[in-house]
Amino acid sequence: MSETRGQAHDHPKGQWPLYEIFVRSKRGLNHVHVGSLRAADDRMALTHARDLYTRRNEGVSLWAVRSEHIVASTPDEKDPFFEPSGDKVYRHPTFYDIPADVPHI
Amino acid sequence: MPSSASSSPGDTAAAPPREPDLQAHFDRTIARDQRVEPRDWMPEGYRRTLIRQIAQHAHSEIIGMQPEGAWITRAPSLRRKAILFAKVQDEAGHGLYLYSAAETLGADRDDLTDRLIEGRQKYSSIFNYPTPTFADVGVIGWFVDGAAICNQVPLCRSSYGPYARAMVRVCKEESFHQRQGYELLRTMMTGTQAQRDMVQDAVDRWWWPSLMMFGPPDDDSPNSAQSMAWRIKRHSNDELRQKFVDMTVPQAEKLGVTLPDPELKWNEERGHHDFGTPDFSELMRVIKGDGPCNAERMARRRTAHEEGAWVREAAAAHAAKQARREEKERAA
Amino acid sequence: MAADMSDAREAADDHVYLSLADGDEGDARWAFGTGFADPLHGVPTALPEGVDAAALAAVCVALGDDALIGAQRLAEWCTRAPELEEEMALANIGLDLLGQARLLYSRAGQADGTGRGEDAYAYFRDAADFRNVRLAELPRGDFACCVGRLLTLSAWRLALFERLAGCADPVLAAVAAKGVKELTYHRQYAAEWVVRLGDGTEESHRRMQAAWTELAPWLDELYADRTAEGFGAPAEEVAEATRAVLAQVAEAAGLSTPAQVTAVPGAGRDGDRTEHLAPLLDELQGLARAHPEAAW
């Protein structure tokens, strides 16, 4: 699809490009993908994101990224991408046996 | 995750998995009640059905702004004006969440809009009824948004991830819409006799069209079975209609209005209310374009889209010019 | 409906809005106008000594009328905006203005001693009693008119509110302080659109220039307004700040401001009206006046 979308000015009807929107709902949390919208430029994307995705005070920060600029793994690559970490249990906190009486871990 | 990502199986360089394997993987995902995500392989029929359903849902939200939107400038108090303005705005927002979900399936919003204004895609027939009085604003909130909640809460668990996620927020906002409608009616019932008559009249006009919102009876709903198997839909039309009636009857009693159905009564044995059969031939007529306001609704949407074209083009042209200017600056 | 929402909650487990749906703030925030911080929370409503009550009432009514009439014109855009995202934006701005009008009318009722509520001001005064600037009541026009007018009114109102935020009346000061944040966004939104349309295509430039030229005769009325002078907002200062913003945006948008402008005589603040206000009020007030005993 990305090849057909292209730049806004390439589109005969002036359709605005698609942006993906990420919201940080409060300090200390990651930005999370919430959906997309259309905007002619970056400023407009942020303005629209504010009006659409945070009009009930849902966020403290917004990211807007042109959809065509996102690089993603394909589901077919799932195994080579994600399986190798499956045996590296030491990366997971439950690998470590911590006595129950040690606080705050 | 990018909405524009294609998930056609041919877009990987490595030897693509065979279709039967992909189908088996898809079937397992559905059977385990897991979510299908945008770049996953999915059967073409599943994709098409979803695009059609999500687009029609989005169109309904956008066309649904009109019957109530007409009352924003005439609302009888500033509080009601603000509530209604915010509610109609939410509907535009719901339309946008849903178009966004449809775009993750490779649909294009401009194309969907064209389909709507050329009459090739439908929207909910309920929005082809007129709103002659302010009580209609309350009854739409109570009945139409109530029916929408019955339809939509199960969709929060729809098998397609982006659709399900969009519905979570839509449902939350719809529940406010339903409450504001009911609260308006309750207030009007404490007012003058003219107001109480206005409420009863609106209830009389909206009850049957609201029951039709759930679609034709299960026996006449050929696409439902496949949608249920794919877990795009999770309850049948008749189940949802029954749920709506059971939910609404006690609310009507509390409000002090009469639902216009002489056959409506509690059935102890079934544990549900029995009720009359809506005139489904009317539903078919309205869907086919012969409702009281079809032409008006479509004309308004078409005009807004056409009259906005120069604005959308200007913004795109400015963005292109700006990009060229910035490029020149970098080069210098 | 609460029981039905459990489905929604289950589905929300990977969702950014989860914290909202399950928050301990209850459902109030989902209803517009509740669940948010009360802008006047803890603000004393007693009239402070040394504040001229009549002047306070006058400034609250004038600024309330600007906001109400502006919001009404924005509401006319509903289902007619050039893009769905613009529906959202125009409604947000309209709602902000409506909120400002309600707070200002309530304060007017306290200041003028009548104790009237917001609806008395909005619904039960005739056109001759309104005090908004006439620019706010002009017919809707096209999107270029909409953003041109919005830029002008919000730049001017922001310059006013920035100064009113420090005034002697605590309620007006609090309303202005809240409004400053809203108006900053309105001005930004409008300025960006004026630039886009001025720079965009031949067609959009032509329309934006036409809207800009049509605005000019109504500006002197804004610059000459002395209603808020007693509250720390000198007319010259406010005018200067507004002119600077408009000049900056016009330059970025490639718009020319006519050199010779004949201002329209009179002022909305003195009760002079165009023929456009009465029909606007007929629509706004019609239902409320048809049922004066009703409860809404």
pLDDT score, position B233: 80
C9-56 pLDDT, tens per residue? 444 334 444 444 444 444 444 444 444 456 677 888 889 998 999 999
B2-61 pLDDT, tens per residue? 444 444 444 444 566 677 888 998 999 999 989 999 888 899 999 999 999 999 999 999
pLDDT score, position B129: 97
Rounded alpha-carbon distances, angstroms, from residue C286 to B35, B213, C280: 51, 32, 10
> CA–CA separation, C121 vs C63, rounded Å?
12
A58-89 pLDDT, tens per residue? 888 999 999 999 988 776 655 555 554 545 55
C244-290 pLDDT, tens per residue? 999 999 999 999 988 889 999 999 999 999 999 999 999 999 999 99
C147-206 pLDDT, tens per residue? 999 999 999 999 999 999 999 999 999 999 999 999 999 999 999 999 999 999 999 999
Question: Could you tell me what percent of chain C has a pLDDT over 70?
Answer: 87
> CA–CA separation, A39 vs B319, rounded Å?
10
> CA–CA separation, C142 vs C144, rounded Å?
5
Region of B271 please: left (phi>0), alpha (psi -120 to 50) or beta: left
C63-100 pLDDT, tens per residue? 999 999 999 999 999 999 999 999 999 999 999 999 99
* C-alpha angle B136-B131-B128 in degrees, rounded to nearest 5: 120
pLDDT band at A104 (very low <50, low <70, confident <90, very high): low
> CA–CA separation, B265 vs B255, rounded Å?
17
Q: Are B282 and B216 in contact (CB under 8 A)?
A: no
Are C200 and B317 a contacting pair at CB < 8 A?
yes
> CA–CA separation, B282 vs B286, rounded Å?
6
Q: Is it the case that residue A91 has pLDDT exceeding 90?
A: no
pLDDT score, position A79: 57
B120 token code pair: 């090739």
Question: Could you tell me what percent of chain B has a pLDDT over 70?
Answer: 95
Residues of A in contact with B318 (CB under 8 A): 40-41
Question: Could you tell me what percent of chain B has a pLDDT over 90?
Answer: 76
Are C76 and B73 a contacting pair at CB < 8 A?
yes
pLDDT score, position B21: 84
In the complex, which subunits touch A with 3 or more CB pairs below 8 angstroms?
B, C
B155-173 average pLDDT score:
91
Q: How far is B327 from chain C (nearest CA, A)?
A: 17
> CA–CA separation, C128 vs B91, rounded Å?
36
Write the CB contacts of B56 (distance below 8 Å, at least 6 apart in sequence). B121, B122, B123, B124
* C124 and chain A in contact, CB less than 8 A: no
For residue B159, the chain C residue with the least C-alpha distance is C11
B281-286 average pLDDT score:
93
Q: Is it the case that residue C129 has pLDDT exceeding 70?
A: yes
Are C8 and B317 a contacting pair at CB < 8 A?
no
Classified as helix, coil or strand, B221 is coil
Q: Is it the case that residue C236 has pLDDT exceeding 70?
A: yes
B68-74 average pLDDT score:
97
B275-285 average pLDDT score:
94
B253 token code pair: 């009693």
Q: Where is pLDDT greater, at A87 or B201?
A: B201
Residues in B 280-319 with any Cβ partner in A closer than 8 A: 309, 312-319
pLDDT score, position B267: 97
> CA–CA separation, A65 vs A35, rounded Å?
11
* A48 and chain C in contact, CB less than 8 A: yes
Q: How far is B20 from chain C (nearest CA, A)?
A: 29
pLDDT band at B292 (very low <50, low <70, confident <90, very high): very high
Q: Residue written as tokens 């289902």?
A: C79
State pTM to two decimals: 0.89
Are C85 and A52 a contacting pair at CB < 8 A?
yes
pLDDT score, position C32: 43
Residues of A in contact with B89 (CB under 8 A): 55
Q: What is the ipTM of this complex?
A: 0.91
A41-55 pLDDT, tens per residue? 999 999 999 999 988
pLDDT score, position A99: 58
pLDDT score, position A102: 63
pLDDT score, position C13: 39
For C47-133, strand residue ranges (E) read none
Strands of A31-38's sheet in order across: A31-38, A18-24, A61-66
* B271 and chain A in contact, CB less than 8 A: no
Average pLDDT, chain C: 89
Backbone angles phi, psi at A74, to 5 degrees: -95, 155
Residues of B in contact with A67 (CB under 8 A): 2-4
Average pLDDT, chain B: 91
pLDDT score, position B174: 86
pLDDT score, position B20: 82
Rounded alpha-carbon distances, angstroms, from residue B289 to B24, B58, B305: 41, 18, 20
Average pLDDT, chain A: 74
Are A20 and B110 a contacting pair at CB < 8 A?
no
Q: Is it the case that residue B1 has pLDDT exceeding 50?
A: no
Q: Are B202 and B135 in contact (CB under 8 A)?
A: yes
For residue B38, the chain A residue with the least C-alpha distance is A75
Classified as helix, coil or strand, C115 is coil
Burial C72-104 (b: 16+ CB within 10 A, else e): bbbbbbbbbbbbbbbbbbbbbbbbbbbbbbbbb
pLDDT score, position A82: 53
Residues in A 56-85 with any Cβ partner in C closer than 8 A: 56-58
